Structure 1
Amino acid sequence: MKKNRVRVLSIGFVAGMMLAGCAAQQDAQSGAQPEVTATGKISPAASAQPASLQAGGKFTLTDDLKRTVVLERRPERIVVLSPEMLELMYAIGGTAAGRAEAAGIVPPKGAENVPAVGQMRQVSLEQVLALKPDLVIGQPVFHKDMEQTLTASGIPVAFLKLGSLEEVHAKTELLGRITGKETEAQKALAGLDSRVEQVLKKRPAKTPTFVNLNVTPGVVSIQRNDMAGLEIAKKMNLVNVAEELPTDKPDASTLPYSLEKLIEKNPDYIFLIIHGSKEAGEKKIKTEMESNPAWSSLKAVQEKKVIVMPSELFLTNPGLKYDESMTYLGQFVYPEAYGQPQTAGKVQ
């Protein structure tokens, strides 16, 4: 597959038999690809691209592994291996021919009966191929090893991730073009921007501190960066104390759990994210943390500010529900501004 010069999430139509006289169409014929702005929104040049494929045209996109993916036509059978991207696709009216499942994540409305091809981290390549997709959307970390088999079978694959709010904009517009739901995508983003703005208007001028702990059946870790929930907390004026913790691996996104480090930083809030089974996670919380007498010395524990956060709102990127995650967090941290929290989220 030929690789063009990298431009993150650039998208464009490589023309064939296009109408002349339109600047956007001329760009497509020359192979030019539009830029994505610093805000995550597609630039005006991208908006000028044709809204539908022209006869004989090809649709191209550059994925998050810097690969140029060429589609002979707009895909009709898309297998989506990322729950985040599946949620976005259905939010704008798109549909999938297959999907991967993830523990604790409920598929979006309308996708419940879409054939499953295994868990996100354990996808059955045989089941994917059996669905005869004309595009597979995978996650860069978990599905890269499927690329060779899929491309050898003549199936285009794009590896897309969803991290920041800016990426929510870029990926929503991208999926809008892939699925032919450009208008729906723009409408959804306009609604999201309006809701986020309203949430931020209520935000008090405080800077409480917090730490985010990942809880799995096998291990507990401290999240330093690279998680949707951390960006959400930052937008709500919270300060992540884990960013100040020393590490011999500056690029590491997590640190080993250390109660001593937590006691040293003594954050105002402790957010727990359970990965996988809720029952197994709750058991780990009791055996790894609450069983230690020193745990009760933490300010957040004493003030009942230890909160189990919903995975679909803080572990995976909430996408077009970003404002819901902000509001949920605001109810616990700033109840005077956002209303009383759902007490079921607290660890007593």
Structure 2
Amino acid sequence: MKSNRLSLIVLLCATLFMTLFLAGCGKEDATKNGTTKTVTYEGQNYTVPANPQRIAVLSNSVLYLLDATGGTAIARVNTNDKLPEKLEALPALGQTANINMESLLGLKPDLVLGLDSQHSKYKDQLNSNHIPYILINYDGVNDNIPLMTLLGDITNHSDQAKQQIETYTKKVDTVKAAIKTINPAKVAVLRATGKGVTAETNLAITAGMVKDLGMNNVVLTHLSDTTKDKTVPYSLETLTQDNPDIIFIVTMGKEEDITKAMEKDMTSNPAWNHLKAVQNNKVIYLPSKLFLLNPGLQTPEAMARLVQDAYGITVDLK
């Protein structure tokens, strides 16, 4: 009897071992067969479907680049800007900063692409629904090429991504070449909203492009190298002392509110009219579409506009 009982125990143990072994082999084989893959972005690895078919995108800035690099999305977010027809036809998931998670989950995405600054609050819901996601740091124009590379890797369209990167780089180089012999302008980049006026650091979109174009941003003389803010307080008194050749003004919000803020902080003061940029008609208001948010593939065109406004040089990017 003891012998039979012992044999039964041995048999059960052997069966359990084989079950666990085969389960482990099955998991390993799934990876080898390509059900998932690992992609790297900004030094971090992400496990994503090997061939994602249902990518939901929570930022239209990322959506444009995904489309340009050969990827296909199943959703977008609302925007006031005109989208290409095929992107406009996608179901909308609400505003970038306020995603309708019920709609998102109902689409059953196999991958979600969002922005770390906007969508970290949805991590728990995505995790609990076992949906892979990548939340991207997409702040400056220098993020464009790494992001296109990532999207090409995700969608298995690396060749198309490389072509886009090559075209993009060539255009940026064309803009820079047009001013390589020009004495750099001294500029101030202001951010005007309904709440007031601040100045941009190199971490902001327009000031970042100004830096890449070799212009001198006067606000940097007042900052430490460790500054991590995109905008900083900046008074008319300080602007008067810096007295730049050009004042770029990036706007955000309603025109009426922006005008009131500018009047309160800057233009209603007589000192405003004594600024070199004002006297030379070099106060330039820039549209938010290209200069508040990352312009993505339109970055070369945005940089060309800055060159045109600053130096009167037209750059042909065709």
TM range (shorter): 0.7 to 0.9
**Distance of 2:303 and 2:148 partners within structure 1:** 19
Structure 2 unaligned segments of length 5 or more: list them: 1-26
Query: What is the deviation of 1:213?
Result: 1.3
**SS at structure 1 position matched to 2:170:** helix
**Distance of 1:248 and 1:164 partners within structure 2:** 17
Tell me which residue corresponds to 1:58: 36
Give the counterpart of 1:141 among 117, 138, 141. Answer: 117
Give the counterpart of 1:316 among 265, 282, 293. Answer: 293
**SS at structure 2 position matched to 1:93:** coil
**Distance of 2:92 and 2:253 partners within structure 1:** 18
Tell me which residue corresponds to 2:197: 220
CA 285–107 in structure 1, closer or farther in 2 if over 3 Å, else same:
farther
**Distance of 2:225 and 2:214 partners within structure 1:** 28
Q: Do structure 1's residue 252 and structure 2's residue 229 form an aligned pair?
A: yes
Query: What is the deviation of 1:214?
Result: 1.4
2:282 maps to amino acid: K
**Distance of 1:223 and 1:252 partners within structure 2:** 9
Q: Which runs of structure 2 are paired with 1:118-157 in the superposition (5 Å)?
A: 118-157=94-133
In 2, are the aligned partners of 1:87 and 1:108 still within 8 Å (CA)? no
CA 175–109 in structure 1, closer or farther in 2 if over 3 Å, else same:
farther
Query: What is the deviation of 1:239?
Result: 0.6
Give the counterpart of 2:185 among 208, 212, 230. Answer: 208
Tell me which residue corresponds to 2:21: none
In 2, are the aligned partners of 1:77 and 1:96 still within 8 Å (CA)? yes
Give the counterpart of 2:58 among 63, 81, 87. Answer: 81
CA 248–200 in structure 1, closer or farther in 2 if over 3 Å, else same:
closer
In 2, are the aligned partners of 1:192 and 1:323 still within 8 Å (CA)? yes
Tell me which residue corresponds to 2:152: 176
In 1, are the aligned partners of 2:174 and 2:315 still within 8 Å (CA)? no
Superposition RMSD in Å: 2.8
1:314 maps to amino acid: F
Moved over 6 A (4+): none
In 1, are the aligned partners of 2:49 and 2:110 still within 8 Å (CA)? no
**SS at structure 2 position matched to 1:251:** coil
Query: What is the deviation of 1:17?
Result: 5.5
CA 308–16 in structure 1, closer or farther in 2 if over 3 Å, else same:
farther
Q: Do structure 1's residue 195 and structure 2's residue 171 form an aligned pair?
A: yes
**Please, what TM-score do these two structures have when normalized by structure 1?**
0.74
Query: What is the deviation of 1:156?
Result: 1.2
In 2, are the aligned partners of 1:86 and 1:108 still within 8 Å (CA)? no
**Please, what TM-score do these two structures have when normalized by structure 2?**
0.81
**Distance of 1:164 and 1:251 partners within structure 2:** 13
Query: What is the deviation of 1:218?
Result: 2.0
Query: What is the deviation of 1:297?
Result: 2.0
Query: What is the deviation of 1:263?
Result: 0.8
Deviations 1:268-302 (A, max 9, x none): 11111112444543453345432333222221111
Q: Structure 1 stretch 324-333 or stretch 161-170: which is displaced more?
A: 161-170
In 1, are the aligned partners of 2:40 and 2:150 still within 8 Å (CA)? no
CA 108–163 in structure 1, closer or farther in 2 if over 3 Å, else same:
farther
CA 257–76 in structure 1, closer or farther in 2 if over 3 Å, else same:
same
In 1, are the aligned partners of 2:39 and 2:153 still within 8 Å (CA)? no
**Distance of 1:62 and 1:182 partners within structure 2:** 13
Which structure dedicates a bigger proportion of its chain to helix? Answer: 2
Tell me which residue corresponds to 1:328: 305
Structure 1 unaligned segments of length 5 or more: list them: 1-14, 19-28, 30-53, 341-348
Q: Which runs of structure 2 are paired with 1:300-311 in the superposition (5 Å)?
A: 300-311=277-288
CA 175–297 in structure 1, closer or farther in 2 if over 3 Å, else same:
same
Query: What is the deviation of 1:261?
Result: 1.1
Query: What is the deviation of 1:105?
Result: 4.5
**Distance of 2:168 and 2:278 partners within structure 1:** 34
Query: What is the deviation of 1:339?
Result: 6.7
Q: Structure 1 stretch 270-279 or stretch 75-84: which is displaced more?
A: 270-279
CA 122–223 in structure 1, closer or farther in 2 if over 3 Å, else same:
same
**Distance of 2:29 and 2:155 partners within structure 1:** 22
1:55 maps to amino acid: N
**SS at structure 1 position matched to 2:93:** strand
Tell me which residue corresponds to 2:251: 274
CA 165–178 in structure 1, closer or farther in 2 if over 3 Å, else same:
same
1:119 maps to amino acid: Q
Q: Structure 1 stretch 212-221 or stretch 67-76: which is displaced more?
A: 67-76
